[in-house]
Amino acid sequence: MLSNIRIVLVQTYHPGNIGASARAMKTMGLSDLVLVNPRRFPDPEATRLAAGAEDLVESARVVGSLAEAVADCVQVIGASARLRSLPLPHFDEPDTMARELIEQAATDPVALVFGRERFGLTNDEIRLCSHQVSIPANPAYGILNLSQAVQVLAYEVFKAWRRRPDSGYRRALPTEQRQPTREHLGHFHDHLGRVMAASGFLTQPHAHTETQLQMLFARAQPSRKELSLLRGLLAALERQPPEA
C-alpha cells in the first residue's frame, strides 16, 4: 500500500531539499520519489542530506512534466500554502487527506505533489491535481521548508496506514526494552535463590520467600536490560569474600 504512494517534487531549486525530502520519506516508509525538472540533479548535496536515504535519491525518477509524473495516478493531491480560486476539493486537515489517500492507495497509485521552494505550484499544475491540501500553521508565519512539508504529510500518511487493521504494523522495540523470556526469568530466579541461600537469608527450606519474590518481579516486569543488571548485581555479591 505504501509503495503505491508517490512523492512528486516539481522544479526543486536546492538539491539539498531533494535529499532531505528523501530522508523524510524513508522515515515514514515511502519509497517512490519522482522529480519534475529539478534545477540540479544528481548532485552531491542531495546525497549528503539524504543521510541514510541515499537509495531513494539514487532510484528517483526524473521526468519532464507534472503530467508525466502523475499520469498513472488515480488521485493527485497538491500541497499548497495558498488557497486558489480553482474549484478543486480541498483538505483543510492533513489527517483527513491521509485517510482518503490510503484508501485509494490500497489498489492504485496516488501522488502527493510539492511545488517550488519560492512559489509552490502554478495554476496549470494545480489543474493536474484532483485535490489540494494545506498544512495548518501559525497565521503570522506559516512558511514551511519543502522537506518539512514532505515530512508532515508523509507522517500523516504513515499514521493513517498503520492504524488500519490490515497494515500489520508493529513497532520494533529496542532490545533493552523488550521483555525477558521465561527462560531468562527462570535463570534469574535460580541465581537469586542461590545467592539468598549462600548469604544465609533463607533459613527455612519451605519458606514462601522465594515465591513472594517471584511474584514481586512478575509485577515489576523488568526489561531484559534491567534483568541483566540484576544478574550482574547477584554475580558481584557472589564474588564477595565471606566475612571472617
| Final residue of a structural domain among 162, 189, 219 | 162
Q: How confident is the model at residue 112 (pLDDT cuts 50, 70, 90)?
A: very high
Q: What is the mean pLDDT of the chain?
A: 89
**CATH code of the domain in which 106 resides:** 3.40.1280.10
Output the CA torsion 165→170→171→176 (10° steps).
150
- Residues 31, 132, single domain; the answer is yes
Q: What is the total count of domains within the chain?
A: 2
pLDDT for 79-92, tens place per residue?
986 656 677 889 98
169 lies in a domain? no
Higher pLDDT, 44 or 198: 44
168 lies in a domain? no
**Domain hosting residue 60, numbered range:** 2-162
The whole-number pLDDT of residue 239 equals: 85
205 lies in a domain? yes
Task: Report the range of poorest mean pLDDT among 57-71, 78-92, 209-223.
Answer: 78-92
Between CA 165 and CA 172, with CA 166 as vertex, the angle to 5 degrees is 85
- Residues 231, 146, single domain; the answer is no
120 lies in a domain? yes
